Structure 1
Amino acid sequence: MPRFRPPPGAVDAHCHVFGPQARFPFSDKAKYLPEDATPEMLFALRNRLGFSRSVIVQASCHGADNRALVDAIAQSNGTARGVAVVDPDIAETQLLSLDAAGVRGVRFNFLKRLVDDAPKDKFLDIAKRIAPLGWHVVVYFEADLLQELIPFLEAIPTIIVVDHMGRPDVSAGPRGPDMIAFHNLLETHPNIWTKVSCAERLSRQGPPFDDFVAAVRPLVEAFEDRILWGTDWPHPNMQDAIPDDGALVDLLPRLAISELAQRKMLIDNPMRLYWPEEVR
Structure 2
Amino acid sequence: MKFQKSPGWLDWCSEPSRPVFLLPEGAVDAHCHVFGPADIFPFAAERKYTPCDASKEQLFALRDRLGFSRNVIVQATCHGTDNRALVDACRSSGGRARGVASIRPDISDGELHDLHEAGVRGVRFNFVRRLVDFTPRDELLDIAGRVAGLGWHIVVYFESADLPDLWDFFSGLPTIVVVDHMGRPDVTKNVDGEQFELFVRFMREHENVWSKVSCPDRLSASGPPAVAGEARPYRDVVPFARRIVETFPDRVLWGTDWPHPNVRDHMPDDGVLVDFIAQIAPTRALQRKLLVDNPARLYWRE
Structure with the greater relative contact order (CA < 8 A, sep ≥ 6): 1 or 2? 2
Alignment partner of 1:230 is 2:255: yes
Q: Give 1:131's aligned residue.
A: 148
2:88 is the alignment partner of 1:63: no
The residue aligned with 1:267 is 292
User: Could you tell me how far 1:176 is from its partner in structure 2?
Assistant: 2.5
1:244 aligns with 2:293: no
- Given residue 44 of structure 1, which amino acid in structure 2 is its aligned partner? A
Counterpart Cα distance in 2 of 1:122 and 1:21: 29
Give the secondary-structure state (helix, strand or coil) at the position aligned to 1:276. Answer: coil
Give 1:64's aligned amino acid: T
Q: Work out whether residues 60 and 114 of structure 1, in 8 Å CA contact, stay in contact via their aligned partners in 2.
A: yes
Gaps of 5+ in 2: 1-17, 227-232
Contact kept in structure 2, 1:173 and 1:214, CA below 8 Å: no
- The RMSD of aligned alpha carbons is 0.9
Q: How does 1:160-199 map to 2 (within 5 A)?
A: 160-199=177-216
1:25 touches 1:62 (CA, 8 Å); kept in 2? yes
Does the residue aligned with 1:150 lie in a helix, a strand or coil? helix
- How far did residue 267 of structure 1 move? 0.5
Say if 1:104 and 1:134, in contact at 8 Å, map to a contact too.
Answer: yes
Task: Measure, in 2, the Cα distance between the counterparts of 1:19 and 1:239.
Answer: 21
Go from structure 1 to structure 2 and tell me whether the alpha carbon gap of 1:179 and 1:104 turns closer, same or farther (over 3 Å shift): same
Q: Does 1:4 align with 2:21?
A: yes
> Match of 1:155?
172
CA distance in structure 2 between the aligned counterparts of 1:28 and 1:119, rounded to whole angstroms? 20
**Whole-Å separation in 1 of the counterparts to 2:148 and 2:121:** 10
With over 3 angstroms needed to count, the CA separation of the structure-2 counterparts of 1:76 and 1:53, relative to structure 1, is: same
For 1:178 and 1:74, locate their aligned partners in 2 and report how far apart those are by CA, in whole Å.
40
1:200 aligns with 2:217: yes
CA deviation after TM superposition for structure 1 residue 190, in Å: 0.4
Partner of 1:172, secondary structure, is: coil
Report deviation, 1:119.
1.7
Q: Deviations over 1:151-185 (max 9, x none)?
A: 11111100000000110112223213322111111
The secondary structure found in structure 2 opposite 1:108 is strand
Higher helix residue share: 1
Q: TM-score, normalised by structure 2?
A: 0.90
Supply the AA of the counterpart residue of 1:249: V
State the match for 1:105 in structure 2.
Answer: 122
Aligned partner of 1:96 in structure 2 is 113
1:46–1:239 CA distance, 2 compared to 1 (3 A): farther
Aligned residues: 277
Q: Is the 8 A contact 1:173 1:211 kept in 2?
A: no
> Aligned partners of 1:66, 1:268: CA distance in 2, in Å?
27
* Residue from 194, 199, 213 that aligns with 2:238: 213
| TM-score where L is the length of structure 1 | 0.97
| Alpha-carbon distance between aligned partners in 2 of 1:239 and 1:9, rounded to the nearest angstrom | 32
Secondary structure of the corresponding residue to residue 171 of structure 1: coil
Distance (Å, rounded) in 2 between the aligned partners of 1:155 and 1:215:
26
Which secondary structure state, in structure 2, belongs to the residue aligned with residue 173 of structure 1? coil
Question: How much has 1:239 moved relative to structure 2?
Answer: 6.3
